[in-house]
Each structure stands twice: as structure tokens, then as C-alpha cells.
Amino acid sequence: MVSSITRTQGLGGSSASEPGGSQKAIESSFGLHSISLPAIPLFGTDGIRGRVGELLSAPLALQIGYWAGIVLRSGSSYPGSVIVGQDSRNSSDMLAMALSAGLTAAGLEVWYLGLCPTPCVAYLTSNSDAIGGVMISASHNPPEDNGIKFFGADGLKLPQALQADIEAGLRGVASHGVDINNCGRHYSRPELVVNYTQALKQPLQAVNLQGMKIVLDLAWGAAVGLAPSVFESMGAEVICLHHQPDGDRINVNCGSTHLDILQAAVREHNADLGFAFDGDADRVLAVDNSGRQVNGDYILYLWGRYLQQKQELPDNLIVSTVMANLGFERAWKQSGGKLIRTAVGDQYVQAEMHRTGGMLGGEQSGHILCRHYGITGDGLLTALHLAALVQQAGVPLMEMVNESFHTYPQLLRNVRVEDRVKRVGWKECQPLQEAIARAEAAMGDAGRILVRASGTEPVIRVMVEAEAAELANYWTNELVLQVQQHLAV
């Protein structure tokens, strides 16, 4: 428990709550249940996410805040605080303020952090007496999108059952209520972020990154105020790219989804390695000293081998997703390890880690969870530990990667499908199902196929992996064509 994070009993001697109306009066005054909602579920694999002005609006965020407050209060013995953070998107201020209004209408106290990474919200929520946390961000999505992510009092993603309770309230079918006899208060608490940065560095106190040159691509997003100072405080020479908060350019041709500029910068500056974060810094991809991408599979393998050698990896288990490369899986098993695959989404990885007692898990996309040091996917934490591994190994990251494993050719294509009903119901598309069956029969054990609707973007993702690049390329093109012809129209 971080002793400096305790429930505020008002500032300047004022009470933490003020008199207000009853729950029904509050619901009436806010016009709850009056917003038209899509028929399909609002919550995806990472909270509620969509285009601002279409799915997401201030009135909806207010109602989400209110019903989230009701649900969080119903599971708590007292009406505690909720910690709220945001990324740099232009719409994040609006959504954060509207959400805060809803939370205070539910009688809760809001601690507003301002600009910060998503894992900062999760950490502070778990290390305080807050009853929940909320992050306003659409992660790696483009600037016009945004999202609302919820955490429970333990700092973990809010369970699906509680998400369903929030949505039930939004749709006017709430199964329970809470007596509200007061309104909450909103407090600005950016000073709490320092507790998160201290927690990041605490397990690495014996590590000195002096002599390392590291390039950071901060994607104009949530990590701009923290990542450079943390690396510099550990002795590294830091070169920053896209290092101001910019809501118009967040994730645009930069960050973890666009590595070209980072790769060129690493080569230009003869750097030891580079790191690219996404908009809310809950994931990271690396670039080795030759400018080559190092994705989540390699990060998991290298970190896993380190923990395995220290006998700190129970059952030598790594939890990953169906996207994990076959080359990674087979190399890890050859080293005596065990790999469990889950559905795509860090919440599924996290749930499986808790079910099995696993300590290391993550996704190829750079969501890495190491329960030795954190409770959720954390790009900055992962980057610090990978830099420490390279420093302690005394050899370049390129050499460490070369000695790990070789990936199977894997192609991933995203096909934009604006129609949410078609996107979610893609399995009902008979021509696509027939094409998948033909591809699986043709490749047999020499490859695998994964088609899925993204839970965070309006796209269908088509992934084909095969021992031969020609096979992967052929069947990827064939399946993408089917999606374009039958779903994207």
C-alpha cells in the first residue's frame, strides 16, 4: 500500500461530499436511458471504444460514469474514490469531464490524474483505497477514436459480469441500485503519478543504464511526460521522437504501429536499441541495434529465458494468444517451457495467468504482463526491463534475438468493415467460411489461419502463418478478397 495515497476528506477543510438528491431524482435530472444505443454490446475486448461523435459522446460518457459508479458502489463497503486518467486526444478532456460528472452524480469522489499511461491508473488504483479506476484512451487507434477502460479496486480489468451490469444500467434494465444521498467531489491529483514512477524503478535499483543510447518513440501520447525522465534517471542517453502531447497526431505514422521512423533513428544515431509505445503506453515494441523490429514474441522469449534461468518462472509457463508465432512456441517448448494460448486481448491473457498461476504473459503486439513487477500490461515497465536485460547480458540485442528463434512467415492484414453488425457476425459469411476451409485443407500442419473481428477497431483481421512464405501470401490475399467482397461493401 502506498501510504501517500489515501482517501481525501476534502481539501481546505471542506467535506468530501455535499448534499444532493435521491437516486431517482439524479437519474431524472441527467435524462438517463434517453440515448439510443446500438443493438450489439458496447464493451469490446478493451472497454468501450469507437469514433467520437458517433458512438462516443459527452452525454453517453456521463451516463457511463453514473452507471459505473452505481456498479462500483454496489460491490464496495463504502463509497470510495475512483481514479481517472487520460491520453492526449483532443476528445479526452471532454470525455473525462463528462465521465467524472457521472461518477460524482453516483456519490463518488474522483481523483483526476490528467495525462498519464493506462498502467499508471491500474497501479494507483490497486495501491490505494480507491474502489475503481478509469482510463480515457483508444490505445493505438487513430486520433478521431477514443475509449473508456475500467479497472476494479484490485487494478485488474473490470470483470465482464460487472461490465454487463454497467451496460444493463445504460439500457434501462439495471438489476440493482444504490441509495444516493449525496453528490461526490472531483479533485485534481496529478502528484500521485510520482508513486507510479517510483514503483517502476524500485526493482531495478541495482541496474545502471549508463553507456546505453536509447531512442524512444512516444507517439505524441500518454508516455511523453514520464518515459524520457525515467530512462535518464537510470543513466541512459535518451533520444526522443514524437515527444509532445498532441491530440491531432497521436499514433499517426508513429509509435508501436508504425516503426519506420524509430528504426531509421536507431540506425542514424547508432543507438543500442529503441522502443515504440502506443497512445496510452500499455504496450511497447522494440528495435534492436541493427534497426530490426523485436515484437512481443521475442520479448516474452528473452524475458522468459531470464526468469527461467533464475528459477522464477513457475512451471516454465508463458501465457500468450492465438497470434503467437509457431517459431516462438516451438523454440520455447524446446527450452523446456510450456505455452498456453488464449483469445486475443490482454484481459484474456491476464485471466489465464491468474487461473494457472503464470507470472509472464503477453501478446505479439507488445502487451506484456510480468506479475513479478506489475499487475497489468505496461509498456514502460517492459521497456525498462528489456533494456536492463541487454545491459546485464553484455551483448547487443541483435545478437540475443539471433540466438533465440526464427519466426515462421506470418502475414496479418486488416480489412476495414464499418458495419458493426457485419463485422461482429463475420462467421455467418458463407463464402468466407468456405475459403477458410479450403486454405486449412491446403496447408494442413504446415500452417494455420486466424480470422477475427477486432475488439478495438472497425476491422476484420486476417492472419495466415505458414512454413513457406508463398503459401502465407497466397491464402492471405484470398481471404482478404473474400472479406472485401462480402463484408466491406
Does residue 468 contact residue 421 with C-beta atoms inside 8 Å? no
Cα 1 from Cα 138, distance rounded (Å): 29
- Helix, coil or strand: residue 126: helix
Burial 12-26 (b: 16+ CB within 10 A, else e): eeeebbeebeebeeb
Residue 248: burial class (beta carbons within 10 Å; 0-12, 13-18, 19+): exposed
Cα 119 from Cα 277, distance rounded (Å): 13
Q: Nearest to residue 63, comparing CAs of 40, 86, 42?
A: 42
Cα 380 from Cα 442, distance rounded (Å): 42
Does residue 127 contact residue 2 with C-beta atoms inside 8 Å? yes
Cα 107 from chain centre: 28
Cα 228 from Cα 341, distance rounded (Å): 34
Cα 363 from Cα 347, distance rounded (Å): 11
Helix ranges, 346-426 (H): 346-356, 379-393, 397-402, 420-424
Backbone angles phi, psi at 335, to 5 degrees: -85, 5
Q: Nearest to residue 119, comparing CAs of 214, 24, 47, 223?
A: 223
Helix ranges, 50-154 (H): 58-74, 92-105, 118-126
Sign of CA dihedral 151, 152, 153, 154: negative
Residue given cell 483505497 in the structure block = 129
Question: Annotated catalytic sites, by residue?
Answer: 139
Cα–Cα distances (Å) from 193 to 154, 225, 353, in that order, read 17, 10, 27
Cα 362 from Cα 377, distance rounded (Å): 8
